[in-house]
Amino acid sequence: CGTATEDREAIIAQRWDEAQNAAQMLGAEIHPPLVDDLDIFYTRELLQKLTAVVRKVQPAILLLQSPEDYMEDHMNACRLGVSAAFFRGMRNFVTDPPCAPAGHAVTLYHALPYGLYDGLRRKVKPGQYADITDVLPAKRAALACHRSQKEWLDHSQGLDSYLIAMEDMSREIGQWSTRFPYAEGWRRH
């Protein structure tokens, strides 16, 4: 099974390169992954690592995935982000690596779930809207940087389906806003 390990390492390296390219395109600062995307589980060890990042970065806003989504790792990432924001100031929570507690204020916003519905098929409406009309081409280009995801989704769901779905959902959210042609919807935690 030596090739399986080598293949996994190559896939992880490819995803990291893709994420770096997307971040560079957007002018965003990127931090190394703590685990592979499908290995996101709500564990103390991962929470200690993520809380260390939150303490170091001291964000004023955290944009998190929806608490309810179609992928378990997405929901776990959300739960970890909420907990890390809470634990950032707790003196008795030891992080990895050890970091002093941070007292900064942070506001959490949750993205809408993929497809705009919860697990019980109820439409999820945002509390806030962000106009993305002018940056939609950049969002599409950054999303397209994730070639490994694109190749898999193209094969399993149809050519460029996830890019088209992103634009369609952004248009629908824009219609909900009654103000913007394309928008993202966010819910404050």
**DSSP state letters, 148-161:** HHHHHHHHHH-TTH
Whether pLDDT at 2 is above 60: no
Name the percent of the chain lying above pLDDT 70: 96
At CA 74, angle to CA 27 and CA 123, rounded to 5? 100
Residue 49 has φ and ψ, to the nearest 5°, of: -70, -45
Helix axes 2-26, 136-144, angle to 10 degrees: 160
How far is C-alpha 170 from the chain's CA centre? 16
pLDDT digit string, tens, across residues 26-85: 999 999 999 987 899 999 999 999 999 999 999 999 999 999 988 899 999 999 999 999
Better-scored residue on pLDDT, 51 or 19: 51
Q: Report the C-alpha gap between 140 and 189 in whole angstroms.
A: 27
Q: 53: left (phi > 0), else alpha (psi -120 to 50), else beta?
A: alpha
pTM of the full predicted structure? 0.89
CA dist 64 to 9, 88, 129, 148, Å?
A: 27, 16, 15, 22
Which of the residue ranges 75-89, 109-123, 127-141, 152-166 would you say has the lowest mean pLDDT?
A: 152-166
